[in-house]
Amino acid sequence: MRILGVDPGSHATGFGSIERVAGRFVHRCHGVLRPPAGASIAARLHYLHTELLAVSRAEAPDAVVVERVFLAANPRSALILGQARGAVLASLGEAGVKVVELSARQVKKSVTGTGAAGKSQVQAMVTRLLALAEVPAADAADALALALTYAQAGPLADLPMSTRRRSSRQAMTRLVMERLP
Amino acid sequence: MRILGVDPGSHATGFGSIERVAGRFVHRCHGVLRPPAGASIAARLHYLHTELLAVSRAEAPDAVVVERVFLAANPRSALILGQARGAVLASLGEAGVKVVELSARQVKKSVTGTGAAGKSQVQAMVTRLLALAEVPAADAADALALALTYAQAGPLADLPMSTRRRSSRQAMTRLVMERLP
């Protein structure tokens, strides 16, 4: 099983791919797509679409996990984030891959044990869980954390917290801890 | 000169193309893209991207006019609209066409004489201005109105109202009226 995580953003879109090898998940690749700063919005979104389509096709994941949007943002930032998500999701539709969404809170909780974890905590835990030689950039770490959470919780991760049984959540957290080196 | 108007929306994206022939603008085509209702969001945005890329390439316009977003919308609707715009703008970036934005208010003002015009007024005026045999659907009429406004006002239409001289606005309105059959 191969899983690609994507954290869409207009300035930086993180991606990270992991794969199950001999019963555990190993790192395949990660990166951050940064559209050319001086380009038009159409050119920037085209860049995101094209680059992520290339990544999706090269990785051919069984599932792509995209961060679910936290809706407390104001309309302007929601619109700008929506545009980046639109280019990203259209490319995933073109690649024909399965797309699931997880909230940042679910991912932080699963990877670090607390839904209120900061970026550096997520970066540190992703580095440990995947035994990386270097700490990935924050956006790439978020993408790898999305993939890890889905990899470990499976279809359960796609459900709202309230509809899951407490035991399932505990099992998910335990799974994460067991994979620590 | 050929101009394509696009009114992005998640359920319906209108488009309309016009061209200058012998000193006046004539209708080339219009339509409404409706992503398959039961499909995933990625598949729906991919549909928008692909279809609009095909239209942009077939029409090869000198400029594409997209409706500027009115930001009083709430974060959820801004996000959903942003996603549709993201897929649309990425396809325009891929087609390599020039993209300009006009506000709905500017367009209504230019086409009907009042920025507070309703959808049926825009539909009626677009039908008259382009001498159409049938009244286009509201989303397609909005797209044709975007194209007409840019066609008649040119680069001036791309400026905020407040930075234009009153005489320019009056000239634009007069131009519209002169094209009435």
Rounded to whole angstroms, how far apart are CA atoms A158 and A160?
A: 7
Rounded to whole angstroms, how far apart are CA atoms B49 and B84?
A: 9
B52 and chain A in contact, CB less than 8 A = no
User: pLDDT tens, B153-167?
Assistant: 765 555 444 444 443
Closest Cα in chain B, distance from residue A149 (Å): 21
A90 and chain B in contact, CB less than 8 A = yes
Whether A164 shows a pLDDT value over 60: the answer reads: no
Residue spans of the domains in chain B: they are: 2-179
Active site includes A7?
Answer: yes
Which residues of B are less than 8 Å from A75 in CB distance? Answer: 71-75, 78
Rounded to whole angstroms, how far apart are CA atoms B20 and B31?
A: 19
- The residue written with tokens 């791919």 in the block is A17
User: pLDDT tens, A42-90?
Assistant: 999 999 999 999 999 999 999 999 998 877 668 888 999 999 999 999 9
Which residues of A are less than 8 Å from B93 in CB distance? Answer: 40, 42-47, 49
Q: Test A79 with B78 for CB contact under 8 angstroms.
A: yes
- Residue B61: its H or E element: none
User: pTM score, two decimals?
Assistant: 0.83
B100 and chain A in contact, CB less than 8 A = no
Whether A134 shows a pLDDT value over 60: the answer reads: yes
User: pLDDT tens, B120-162?
Assistant: 999 999 999 999 999 999 999 999 999 999 998 765 555 444 4
Closest Cα in chain B, distance from residue A141 (Å): 23
Q: How distant, in Å, are the alpha carbons of B5, B14, B62, B143, B153 from that of B107?
A: 11, 15, 19, 10, 10
- The residue written with tokens 């919005």 in the block is A41
**Do A80 and A45 form a contact (C-beta atoms < 8 A)?**
no
**Do A105 and A118 form a contact (C-beta atoms < 8 A)?**
no
Residue numbers of B annotated as active site: 7, 67, 139
Q: Test A83 with B83 for CB contact under 8 angstroms.
A: yes
What is the ipTM metric for this complex? 0.80
Sheet holding B2-7, edge to edge: B24-33, B13-21, B2-7, B63-68, B99-103
Higher confidence at residue A114 or residue B53? Answer: B53
Whether B18 shows a pLDDT value over 90: the answer reads: yes
Which residues of B are less than 8 Å from A84 in CB distance? Answer: 86
* Site from B65, B69, B79, B92 to mutate, A interface, most A CB atoms within 10 angstroms: B79
B79 and chain A in contact, CB less than 8 A = yes
Which residues of B are less than 8 Å from A41 in CB distance? Answer: 89, 99
Residue A177's pLDDT is: 37
A2-179 is classed CATH 3.30.420.10: yes
Whether A170 shows a pLDDT value over 90: the answer reads: no
Closest Cα in chain B, distance from residue A97 (Å): 9
